[in-house]
Amino acid sequence: MRNSTQRHHFILESLQQREYISVAELSQATSVSEVTIRKDLQVLEGQRLLYRTFGGASTKHLYMSDRPLREKELAHAEQKQRIAAAAVPLIGHHDSLIIGSGTTVQLLAQQLTSSKHLTVITSALKTALTLLDKPNIEVLQMGGFLRPLSAAVFGQYAEAMLEELSCGVVFLGVDGIDLEKGLTSASPTEAKLNQCMMRAAEVVVVLADSSKFGKRGLGKICSVDQVQYIVTDKGAPATMVQAIEALGVTVLVV
């Protein structure tokens, strides 16, 4: 299928039947190189007819909107529970940790037991309240302006506080994981605070269900290779998982 117009029509027709198709599949179906297909996708994206993703194209918008906490809590609830449970052993012998904002890291707080002493630093009010009645877990609630959508603090006061702290591990929630754009948040202010959290910790662990893969948020947190662990569920695209692991990141799939 050497004619670009024919290929473009075929690509769009294929995406009407499926919300995602890979470059490899399109290359095989049209008998042209993957380089040519990528150029086709770039043209079609420029015409706002599709969205390019890692290794293919999709009908879904890549950018995640900022949604209320309650709405996020209801989405992918079962997968988030499994991810949170799988993250607990990563705390190991660390006696101090940071828990950022987000529904999956909030579930991690629920999983923590009081069998050993922990100091938990958090920006999220619901996480602090979850841990409040657990013996042997000391909670350091960060200060700052409060975002109603996430029930978490942000801003210069929280950032300044982190400059004075150092801990073993930070658990972050993200809105998007993209090999080109990195780890992102729908909120630029929370993305900036997450950067400060990373600088205060020795190990960075990202908890993200599979719906976050191939998506982007407005604010960039970091490149993918700047974290040590990503914990996700079985729905994560295998090609992306392999590419992330090739960067030296340990991906735990539950």
First to last CA, the chain: 41
pTM attached to this predicted model: 0.76
Final residue before a domain boundary, out of 39, 58, 77: 58
How high does pLDDT run on average in the chain?
89
Query: How far is Cα 33 from Cα 26, in angstroms, rounded to an integer?
Result: 9
Domains contained in the chain, number: 2
Q: Quick check: 52 pLDDT over 90?
A: no
Give the DSSP letter string of 44-106: HHHTTS-EEETTEEESS-SBPPP--HHHHHHTTHHHHHHHHHHHGGGGTT--EEEE-SSHHHH
pLDDT tens per residue, range 195-207? 999 999 999 999 9
The residue assigned the tokens 């409060």 is 146
- Joined together, the tokens standing for residue 158 give 């929280």
Query: Which pLDDT does position 86 carry in this prediction?
Result: 97
Confidence of residue 158 (pLDDT cuts 50, 70, 90): very high
Q: Do residues 130 and 234 share a domain?
A: yes
Helix, strand, or coil (residue 43): helix
Q: Do residues 212 and 152 share a domain?
A: yes
Share of the chain above pLDDT 70, in %: 92
Query: How far is Cα 62 from Cα 214, in angstroms, rounded to an integer?
Result: 7
Share of the chain above pLDDT 90, in %: 65
Let me know if residue 39 belongs to a domain.
Answer: yes
Q: Do residues 119 and 187 share a domain?
A: yes
Q: Do residues 207 and 85 share a domain?
A: yes
Query: How far is Cα 152 from Cα 126, in angstroms, rounded to an integer?
Result: 8
Q: Do residues 22 and 84 share a domain?
A: no
Q: Do residues 86 and 174 share a domain?
A: yes
pLDDT tens per residue, range 59-82? 776 665 555 555 555 567 899 999
- Joined together, the tokens standing for residue 196 give 């400060």
In sequence order, what are the beta bridge partners of 98?
A: 121, 170
> Backbone phi, then psi, for 32, in 5-degree steps?
-125, 170
What is the CATH classification number for the domain harbouring 40? 1.10.10.10
Helix, strand, or coil (residue 229): strand
Q: Do residues 45 and 78 share a domain?
A: no
Query: Which pLDDT does position 69 carry in this prediction?
Result: 54
Let me know if residue 64 belongs to a domain.
Answer: no
Q: Quick check: 173 pLDDT over 60?
A: yes
What is the CATH classification number for the domain harbouring 207? 3.40.50.1360
In sequence order, what are the beta bridge partners of 124?
A: 152
Q: Do residues 172 and 77 share a domain?
A: yes
Query: Which pLDDT does position 2 carry in this prediction?
Result: 67
Q: Do residues 193 and 91 share a domain?
A: yes
Query: Which pLDDT does position 56 carry in this prediction?
Result: 83
pLDDT tens per residue, range 85-130? 999 999 976 689 999 999 999 999 999 986 778 999 999 999 999 9
Confidence of residue 20 (pLDDT cuts 50, 70, 90): confident
Query: Which pLDDT does position 17 carry in this prediction?
Result: 82
- Domain extent for 162: 69-253
For 221, counting Cβ atoms within 10 Å of its Cβ (0-12 exposed, 13-18 middle, 19+ buried), the class is buried
